[in-house]
Every structure is written in structure tokens, then in C-alpha cells.
Amino acid sequence: MHSFTRLIYARAALTIMTAFLTVFCSWTGFAQSNLHSAQRDKSTNSVAMEQRVPMPASPDYLKVQARLAQGWNTWDANSVMTHVLLPYGLAIHIGMKHNTSVSGDAFLRDALIGRLEPGAEQVIPGPHSWDGSYSELSVQWKGHSWRVHSAHAGADLVLLVEPLPSKPELALAPTVVFSVNALWNRTINFSHSEDEIDARPDAKTKIAIYCTCQDAGAKVHAGGTDFPVGAPYFAADLAGPVGVSTGKHRTVAEIRSAIDEQRRVYDGSIVAEAKNGSIVDAIETTLGWDTIYEPAGQRVISPVSRVWCVNWGGYVLFDWDTFFAATLASIGDRDLAYANAIEILREETPQGFVPNFARPGWKSFDRSEPPVGAITVLGLYKQFHDRWFLEDTFAPLLSWNRWWAAHRDIQGYLAWGSDGDTKPGNMADHSSGTWQGAVYESGLDNSPMYDGANYNAQTHLLEVGDVGLMSLYIADCDALAEMADVLNKPVEAHELRERAARYRAKLATMWDEKSGIFLNKDLRTGKAGTRLSPTNFYPLLAGAATPEQAKQMIERHLRNPKEFWGQWILPSIAMDDAAFADQNYWRGRIWGPMNYLVYLGLMKYDDSDTRREFAQKSYELFLKEWKENGHVHENYNSILGTGDDVKNSDRFYHWGALLGYVEYLESGSSNRHMRGAR
């Protein structure tokens, strides 16, 4: 995407460098003090585990985070209407008060995209540039509607809140409240006059904040009004546009002019992408709104959505979801792509695997998720050619690769598992050490493929030789071996190729000639499974299918209108399976990551017509919801082509954009306007 200039206050340069050195010292200090942490007793508590840093942050990576974590942006996970200046943690919150003349007043402190509770605000996200230089959203709540624009004006931030036509419950206008405080236990001194709030994060820096409240021609609320904000604020009835600016006082017209300028820059970058403008806009916007600053780890990350972050205590990083976020970010922000890939690897457990999830204070010590890390990292390296990135990621990826073979092998087959005796135990996670925990490791939480599968409580494994896992693992070995070649590690390269060959030979035995596809295997009975899902096509990704086998898989199954081919593709279980009618999560719905992984497999074989149609159908499904509602769904109904028919499909879950990303790949788009590509 287009190249944005990251803007910061000149007077803050010294502070930023100090913060950089502080982070470096703290991270490298943790690394030195924990060289032997992998040998700790298993009873180590969760807090100590959370502090352990398994992968030291290199100077190159610290520079990535230093470039990312600066300037004004929507960094706060708790509200898309809050704008924060890094590195200070200075926040400007936009709240809205619903006014009545008797009882029934209410105050909207925070706003999130996709909340489904009765009476919750409905946020319609508009464009959001990678660096926060432009953003737009509209909100509907209590019968009121308003739009929020933000933009950078040099080093300054400008905000404009304007009412939209609506039918409020009462005739009284709502009151917009701009409150200013310090987040994340930072220290900032404030002084406040009628039309100015001054923030002093240090002795040499003053950031002045102004409001057009006095110019709005509406009722202005003085400090005596009781708003539940507990910080200096400006407030005015929203009878017309009300703006806030930093650095100097600006009129509404001046604020609007700055916003229009940044909007033209953003629109120009989308137009430059020609036919792929819609998907580039969607990916940039989705990751723009989903990217946050995580203060405990002093890092910029892209969790799956803010709703998930709030429900998980501040942030949650899921394993393969975060690798896919890295892939998506690569279309426009190299630094953000690197940050997501590295940060999920930095969550690696003492046992040597990337956990299923990591959240404040806890991570899953019993299970992992599908091994897509090496193919993601290698893809980023081939795009940007930064050797240091391979050097930073190779060791944790290799540790994770070895873990699968050591802990998830049954008779030479790979199976999903959940190690229930791993400490520390998570009292709130009742799936640990159970059939459900093992299925969670697959990432396919309720897939009918595993209905009736036996979980062995002694081995902690689901006794199913899994085609999808084995295929992804082979691809992981191949990618890591290629990385080892680049890094001149011949011993590791040989080890990885030997392991890939061993599991590729085992996967070959899972080919069913009668069915014309690779099938899962019940390792108790020795019988092949009968249920089909997109994971049965993953041998294409591993390059494990012969050209003739690939042809059969594509013609007899992928393009079969009774199984997977239709207006909307790919269902997560074949259409002729009884579970398809459920259309509940992984029981029949369409998922971006499945389409993406199957598409990567199709790229390895000579069937350009199927690949082109596959990409176009995926894109059409994505565009339907994006254009109608601005939604990027976690999953989609295979019959209706919508995500809004159920409540367990997050409306702004970034991996939904993988459905469009396959068309981006198919069209051969380049990253000619990459931000961060230095």
C-alpha cells in the first residue's frame, strides 16, 4: 500500500529513544535471566510463566516495534472512539450522553465493532489507514446516529464528530464528551481551562488540546456537569459538528480540511490498486481497527478483534489466527506483518510449542494449533528479503516443529492432542486434557470430522491420523528446511527434510483409490474415515499428491456440486454430509483460512481454471458482506452467503479477509506502496 510518514513530536525524540532503550534492556534482561527457564519445575505459576521470554528480542525487531508504537492511533483495545498518542499513553476518549427530561439518561463510554448484546451500540467501520493518519466510523445508539472522523495534521491529531440523520427516542440532542487522560498507569500532568487542556508527559513536552465547543452554536457543558469520566473534558450538545484538535486551535472548517486531505491520500492509494481496491481497503481497514497497543508487553499486535480482546482481559493472541494476520498485513505494512509473526512466536511455552491462545496472565500449556508458522514466515521472507527476520524466527519455529513429532505421533501418524497434566493447570479451562481440548488444538472447534473419535486419556491424543495436520506439518518441515538453507544450517536442513520425507511417505498410505482422495484414519480400528472437509485437500499444499491424484481430488471432490462446489465455497464439511445442515461454526460454514490453505495447494498444481474460479468465488463471498454491511466475518453461511445469520460469527474478525486475499494473490498484485519497506 501507500507509503505513510510516521509523525511524532520533535520534542519527544529523546523520550522515544529512552523508551526504546528501556524496552531493549528489559527484554534482553529477561532473556538473560531465563536461560534455564525451560528446565523449571512444571509447578511454576502462571505469573512466572507469563514473564518468561522464550525468544529474546533482537535489535532489528526492537526497531520494528519502535517504528510501530508511535504517534496518534486507535491503540486502546477498549474503544474504537479512543485515540492515543504513543509513546506517552495520552488518550482522548469520545463519549456520548443520551439525554432525557425525566429518567432514562445513559452514557456510552466505549464503543466496539460487532457487539451483539441487546441495546448495544452498532458501529459501522469506515476506512482506517495502517498508521492511523485517517479513520472514519459511524455509530448508532439509543436512536442517535453520528460519525467520527480522525486525521493527522502534521504531528497533530484532529477529530470531528457530527450528527447524522436519525430518529432519537427523545427530541433532546445527545451530548458529546471529549475526556483526556493517561492510559496504562502512565503519568501525565494536566491543566484545564475553558477551551484548552494541556498535557505534560514530561518536563520538556506540552501537548495542547482544543475543542470547537464554543464555536458549535450548541449548549456547552462546564466542569460542574456530572459526566462519568473522571478526567479533564470538553462537552457540548451534538446539534452540529464538534471538533477537537491538538497543537493549535482549529475551527471546524480547518479540521474538516485536514480530514479531507488525508481522505484524498487514502482514496488515492485504493484507486491505485485498480480492481483489487476493495480487498486492499478491507484488509487495511480491518487490521487498522483490530491493531492495538498491548502495554504489559510494550508491543503493537493485531488480535482477532477488540470484542475478543475485552472478553479475554485486554488481549488474546490465537496461534494460527495471528500468523494469518501477519500474512494479511504484508500487503501494506511490513513492520506490522513482522510484529504479528514474531509476537505469537514469543508466546512459545516452556514445552517448546506455540500455544493455542495467550492472554494476560495465562496461555494454553496443554495444546497448540495448526502449524502454519513456517510457511507464513518463509512467505514474508520471500516478499521482503530481511535475513534478520529468519534469524529471529527460525529457533522457535524449529522447536515447535520438533514438538509435534515428539508429542503428537501415533504409529507414525500425527494426531491432535491436549496434555491435561501440564502445569500450571488452568482451573477455568475444563477442556484441558479432554477430547474437546484435543479438538480445540485442530482449530476446528466442533468439526463433525471428530464426532465419535476416541481421546486416549493416557496418551492425551485423539486417536485419528489426521490428513490436515500431517499435510500442514510436511509443509512446515519443507519451509523450515528452506529457511535452514538460507541460514547455512545444513544439519537442521537435513533433519527437517528427513522428517518431511517420513511423514510424506505415511501420508501416501492415507490415499484412498476408490474415493480418489486422502482420508483420515481411525487408529484404533485401522479404518479410513468417510467424512470430507477442506482439510482433505491440504495434501495439495504439502505437494504430497501426485499430479494424477490432484486431478482426481479436484475433479471428483473440489468441483463436485454435491460436495464442495457451489455459489459459495468452501463449506467446512461436505454438502452431502448430514452435519452440513447445522451451519454452526465448523459444522458446514465457510472459513477464510480453509479457503486460503486450499488455494495455496492449488497454486502447486497445473489447473489455472480451477484456481481462478476458486479465487473469484471466494472473493465474491467476501465482497457481499463487505459492501452490504462493512463486515469481515469470522465465518459465513454456506447456503445464504452471509455471516449475520448467527451470533457466533464475529463481525470484524480479520481472517475473514483471507477470502479476498486469495483473489489478491491470483491477480499477482505487488506491494509497490509498502509502508515500512526500508
pLDDT exceeds 80 at position 212: yes
- 656 vs 647: CA distance, rounded Å: 15
Q: Give residue 420's pLDDT.
A: 83
What is the band of 15 on the pLDDT scale with cuts at 50, 70, 90? Answer: very low
pLDDT exceeds 70 at position 297: yes
Q: Which helix H or strand E contains 455, and what residues bound it?
A: strand 455-456
- 170 vs 232: CA distance, rounded Å: 28
Residue pair 502/426 in contact by the 8 Å Cβ criterion: no
| Residues whose CB falls within 8 Å of the CB of residue 377, separated by 6 or more in sequence, listed in order | 341, 389, 390, 393, 397, 479, 483
Q: Give residue 473's pLDDT.
A: 98
Q: Give residue 219's pLDDT.
A: 63
Residue pair 73/101 in contact by the 8 Å Cβ criterion: no
CA angle 457, 461, 462 (to 5 degrees): 105
Q: Give residue 222's pLDDT.
A: 58
For residue 7, give the nearest of 156, 160, 199, 135 by alpha carbon. Answer: 156
In angstroms and rounded to an integer, the radius of gyration of the C-alpha atoms of the chain is 26
E strands, 544-665, where? none
Residues 3-7 have a mean pLDDT of 34
- 675 vs 266: CA distance, rounded Å: 13
pLDDT exceeds 50 at position 550: yes
Q: Considering the chain, what is the average pLDDT of its residues?
A: 89
Residues 324-340 have a mean pLDDT of 98
- 524 vs 528: CA distance, rounded Å: 11
What is the band of 421 on the pLDDT scale with cuts at 50, 70, 90? Answer: confident
For residue 96, give the nearest of 242, 195, 196 by alpha carbon. Answer: 242
In DSSP notation, 244-302 reads: EEESS---HHHHHHHHHHHHHHHHHHHHTTGGGHHHHHHHHHHHHHH-EEETTTTEEE-
In DSSP notation, 470-491 reads: HHHHHHHHHHHHHHHHHTT-HH
Q: Which helix H or strand E contains 73, and what residues bound it?
A: strand 71-73
Residue pair 109/95 in contact by the 8 Å Cβ criterion: yes
E strands, 331-423, where? 357-359, 362-363, 409-410, 413-414
pLDDT of 276-289, one tens digit each? 899 999 999 999 99
Domains and CATH numbers, the chain: 70-271 (2.70.98.110), 274-666 (1.50.10.10)
Residues 373-389 have a mean pLDDT of 98
Q: Give residue 166's pLDDT.
A: 76
What is the side-by-side strand order in the sheet with 205-211?
Answer: 122-128, 134-141, 144-153, 156-163, 242-246, 205-211, 196-202, 189-192
Looking at the DSSP bridge assignments, the partners of residue 150 are 135, 159
Looking at the DSSP bridge assignments, the partners of residue 83 are 92
- 158 vs 241: CA distance, rounded Å: 13
pTM score over 0.95:
no
End-to-end CA distance of the chain: 14
| Residues whose CB falls within 8 Å of the CB of residue 557, separated by 6 or more in sequence, listed in order | 516, 517, 532, 536, 537, 563, 564, 574
- 574 vs 649: CA distance, rounded Å: 20
Residue pair 391/487 in contact by the 8 Å Cβ criterion: yes
What is the band of 220 on the pLDDT scale with cuts at 50, 70, 90? Answer: low
- Among 27-36, 44-53, 216-225, name the most confident range: 216-225
- The CB density around residue 33, as the number of other CB atoms within 10 Å, is 12
pLDDT exceeds 90 at position 380: yes
Looking at the DSSP bridge assignments, the partners of residue 179 are 93, 233
- 659 vs 621: CA distance, rounded Å: 7
Residue 410, C-alpha cell as written in the block:
501415533
| C-alpha distances out from residue 225 to 175, 189, 236, 238, Å | 11, 22, 11, 16
pLDDT of 551-565, one tens digit each? 999 999 999 999 999
Residues 642-656 have a mean pLDDT of 94
Residues 373-387 have a mean pLDDT of 98
- 234 vs 92: CA distance, rounded Å: 10
Count how many residues are written for the chain: 678
Q: Give residue 169's pLDDT.
A: 56
For residue 85, give the nearest of 136, 28, 19, 162 by alpha carbon. Answer: 19
pLDDT exceeds 50 at position 34: no
What is the band of 193 on the pLDDT scale with cuts at 50, 70, 90? Answer: confident
What is the band of 545 on the pLDDT scale with cuts at 50, 70, 90? Answer: very high
pLDDT of 653-668, one tens digit each? 999 999 999 999 999 8
